[in-house]
Chains A and B, each alone.
Chain A
């Protein structure tokens, strides 16, 4: 039943100007503590269980510091005072409680027990998923020339220079192009379907989002509204969509 280590809060002491040592110096530390999950308020059953356990491994349980976890208790009517005495009769040493109701906390406080961090063993996620750290966009100011490639791993690509025919621009995220986009643009190359390609001047040879692609063999295949003009490219299902961006 060994459980998570407990970290006590770190209290900084101010250095006293004189060489005199402070009477009490608080320092942070961590200890591994055993948690005893209390699953019933039946003190007789608890006594019998503890007797068995100490008989099996007397040296392990002797003077063991414990944290009593009260989460599983069906009713909150627990005689905490007697419970502590039961443990102490077995030479076990409860230091405090965890997951106590307000009434249990009041009882614990009155008999001098500490409160320990909540360690809920709930189904499912406790903390919200850690959001992906925001990667700064890669900004490219130079033209990307035929045969060259620019890649923004983990984030967006901002293109301030043109992407020439025969060149490639790739990003895990979105691609924002402020100059003629004449080569190939591939966004969401790790599979993110919800990314976009934006350009001020669409003349691209190939457009791709999350692996789906559209080849533009002849510039005249593009509708007049987007040919060489500002355009927004995104994925709808498996289709690459090209919409004009109206600037005015």
Chain B
């Protein structure tokens, strides 16, 4: 039975869509039939990041409303076999999503179409769109920037994952959370200006699946509609590839983190002259 994985954060602009795209490409490249779904109804951008925006005919909401079949709405990726995108609607809004509708689409993807991995790209926030994206998930990638408001919002979304998801409500095994730290700058962490991986881990208390360094290649990727994992020269690409491997069960060392004992928070607790 295909696994449903939500990529969420709470905070906006931390790298959910960038991650969803690269994660899906990584899984499909390693031989797994993968679909990535845009849950940001009305402000869709997964199709841009995947580079298929001109091929969107039908979307997620059309399928829920029975206006199109799933096979008509799914966009097959031209670069990677076994990879598909289900875009969001640009004109409707999040009220168009219903739990029953979403549930049916996910079931069809798992059973009829045999997808192994179903990536749900969540919008920012904790309202309807984000809730729909996380409700049915089996695992969650919680994308966090090394920055205090992002960490707080990630904590909030973790609370919702553990309390209000389907697995929580039906008292099944809980959603397995994975922490993905994005836009990490090891130098600034060394200088004590930025929260370290250890700082974030101690606050959120979930295992780290990857640390993606800040990289200019991310902007280039979205400009060209090529998920950054495909840019072989980029450090972010390497980091995403490591993250996919870890997710699939291989261990990989963290390449872009200097193991930092004195991140920002630790300095606050140190003996200070003041």
Contact = CB atoms under 8 A, between A and B. Distances in A.
Interface of A: 142-143, 145-148, 161-162, 164-167, 180, 182, 219-220, 224, 227-228
Contact of A146 (B159, B268, B272): B159
Contacts of B153: 146
B163 A148 contact: yes
Given A162-B205, A220-B274, A145 B268 contact: no
Given A146-B155, A147-B156, A220-B268, 13 more contacts: A142-B162, A143-B158, A145-B155, A146-B152, A146-B156, A146-B159, A147-B159, A148-B163, A161-B205, A165-B152, A165-B155, A165-B203, A219-B269
Given A162-B205, A165-B152, A148 B269 contact: no
Interface residues of B, number: 16
A150 B274 CA distance: 36
B205 A166 contact: no
B79 interface: no
B271 interface: yes
B271 A145 contact: no
A143 B272 CA distance: 30
Given A164-B203, A219-B269, A228-B269, A145 B274 contact: no
Interface string B119-160: 000000000000000000000000000000000110110110
A166 B269 contact: no
Nearest to A222: B269
B159 A145 contact: yes
A148 B272 contact: no
Contacts of A142: 162
Contacts, number: 38
Interface string B161-190: 011000000000000000000000000000
Contact of B159 (A148, A182, A224, A228): A148
A143 B269 contact: no
Given A146-B155, A147-B156, A166-B156, A219 B162 contact: no
B271 A224 contact: yes
Dominant secondary structure of chain B at its interface with chain A: helix
Contact of A145 (B162, B202, B269): B162
Interface of B: 152-153, 155-156, 158-159, 162-163, 202-203, 205, 268-269, 271-272, 274
A143 B205 CA distance: 8
Nearest to B272: A220
B162 to A, nearest CB: 7
16 contacts: A145-B155, A145-B156, A145-B159, A146-B156, A146-B159, A147-B156, A147-B159, A148-B159, A161-B205, A166-B152, A166-B155, A167-B159, A180-B202, A182-B203, A220-B268, A227-B269
A146 B203 CA distance: 11
Nearest to B206: A143
Contacts of B272: 220
A219 B274 CA distance: 13
Closest 10 CB pairs of A and B: A145-B159, A146-B155, A146-B156, A228-B269, A148-B159, A145-B155, A147-B156, A164-B155, A145-B158, A143-B205
Contacts of A167: 159
Contacts of B163: 148
B229 to A, nearest CB: 30
A204 to B, nearest CB: 14
A210 B22 CA distance: 52
Contacts of A146: 152-153, 155-156, 159
A16 to B, nearest CB: 53
A163 to B, nearest CB: 11
Nearest to A219: B268
